[in-house]
Amino acid sequence: MSVKRPLEGMVVLDFSQFLAGPLAGLKLADLGARVIKIENPKNGDLCRYLYLSDTEIGGVNSLFQAINRNKESFCANMKDANDREKLMKLVSEADIVLQNFRPGVIERLGFDYESLRKLNPDLVYGSVSGYGNKGPWVSRPGQDLLAQSLSGLTWLSGNDDMPPTPMGLAVADMLAGNSLVQGILAALIKRERGHGGSHVETSLLEVLVDFQFEVLTTYLNNGHKKPQRSKINNAHAYLSAPYGIYKTADSFIAIAMGPVDKLGEMISAPDVAKFTDNKTWFSQRDEIKQLIQQTLALNTTAHWMEIFSANDVWASEVYDWEALLDSDAFHELEMLQKLEHEDIENLMTTRLPIRLDGEVLKSPKAAPLLGEHTVAISNEFGL
């Protein structure tokens, strides 16, 4: 028997676009909520036309499918009086509203929390912005790369001789979407205890600062010493050798924390083994990493992994996507699912990364066509 999803019966109106807000909607949908995506009838979510590469899959935008699967699409013009009336009727029936307009826009449209709570006092209202709702950065574009660049995060990745290096994913949007869901779930618990609705807010900048809480706390308490990236195989600006990814004779290998001198003995590198004082593992980490690199390059990853595994060293092969998807460990997780799309026979994506009562939660419903459910929803709610 399929597990009952915890948010079944709840209705979410998702006014958001692109990634952060829609990602929150996706997580809520996979947990059982009914997510109705509110889209402008002319073009809909601009993400429908934004591609990750120069290819598409049979005319279908895979990016939009990944973010907006398992939802319904309702077309409405938020500036049209008749459509506004329909939307307000839907708001009165909703449990959750999501929006990620730039601060001030949703207020001008009359769909801000203070306006909607008068109609639905138990509403849980989730907002994502770029940099909060006040201050000198309010009007800046809330875009992932820009937020990463302002947050200090780009000075943690890459080697020391490299320029600021962003992460290779839209990490700000993804963190914001997931943080918003955490807040919404907490607000739902509050509501179930009889304390009414809530306005849950987060921003790209706030989640990126929180993302750096560990190293930023160090900075705040060590006299504001700037993070110093390693010049060789940097993987963490605040960690000593051997922490990093190293090239072997045939591929790459990752080594986490561990005694440098013991590692040197294992790989038969006396120049590494001589570093017995752990204080030098940070102060001389570039020299140490260079010596480790020279030795590891002499043999294969399999050779070194056999040694490291036998000695309980925290090390790992470095997989690309092909190797990951081919591994037994990945298959055991059942992380992939096929979407039921009428035009694409095998449209694959990932699933919600949690299990409930031992069961994985797959939702094979593809992303909706623009306005696909407008008529059905209108009939259902008497709009």
Contact present, 176 and 203 (Cβ < 8 Å)? yes
Is pLDDT at 37 greater than 90 in this prediction?
A: yes
Q: Is the pLDDT confidence value at 353 over 50?
A: yes
The residues, ordered by sequence, that sit 6+ positions from 263 with a Cβ below 8 Å of its Cβ are 242, 255, 272, 292, 313
64-88 tens-digit pLDDT? 999 999 999 999 999 999 999 999 9
Question: Has residue 25 got a pLDDT over 60?
Answer: yes
Both tokens assigned to 293? 């690199």
Instruction: In the chain, count H helices and then E strands.
Output: 17, 13
Alpha helices per DSSP H over 297-359: 301-310, 321-326, 328-333
What pLDDT does residue 55 have?
A: 60
Kindly report the average pLDDT of the chain as a whole number.
Answer: 94
Tokens of 74: 């309702």
Count of Cβ atoms closer than 10 Å to residue 349 Cβ = 18
Q: Does 312 participate in catalysis according to the annotation?
A: no
Q: What is the pLDDT of residues 263-310, one digit of tens each?
A: 999 999 999 999 999 999 999 999 999 999 999 999 999 999 999 999
Domains (range + CATH), the chain: 11-211+335-381 (3.40.50.10540), 244-325 (3.30.1540.10)
Least confident of 135-139, 250-254, 312-316, 341-345: 341-345
Confidence bin at 1 (pLDDT 50/70/90) = very low
pTM given for the model:
0.92
Q: Using H for helix, E for strand and C for coil, what is the string for 38-85?
A: EECCCCCCHHHHCCCCCCCECCECHHHHHHHCCCEEEECCCCCHHHHH
CA distance 196 to 207: 26
pLDDT at 224 over 70: yes
Residues β-bridged to residue 11: 34
Long-range contact set of residues 184-192: C-beta below 8 Å, sequence gap at least 24:
184/24, 184/28, 184/96, 184/124, 184/126, 187/124, 188/10, 188/95, 188/96, 188/124, 191/122, 191/124
> If you compute the radius of gyration of the chain from its CA atoms, what whole number of angstroms results?
25
Of 173, 277, 312, 320, the active-site residue reads: 173
Bridge partner residues of 13 (DSSP): 36, 97
Q: Confidence band (pLDDT; 50, 70, 90) for 232?
A: very high
Please identify which residue in the block is written with the tokens 């979510």: 45
pLDDT at 49: 85
DSSP conformational letter for 191:
I
Phi, psi of 367 (to 5 degrees): -65, 145
Q: What angle do CA 190, 193, 197 make, to 5 degrees?
A: 45
Q: What pLDDT is stored for residue 380 in this prediction? A: 96
Note whether 363 and 30 are within 8 A (CB). yes
Cis peptide preceding 270, ω within 30 of 0? no
The tokens for 213 are 């809480």
CA dihedral 135, 140, 141, 147 (to 10 degrees): -70
The token pair that represents 30 in the structure block: 């996979």
Element housing 202 (H / E): strand 198-203
Instruction: Give the pLDDT score at 56.
Output: 67
Burial 358-369 (b: 16+ CB within 10 A, else e): eeebbbeebbbe
Summarize the chain as % helix, strand, coil (round to 5).
40, 15, 45
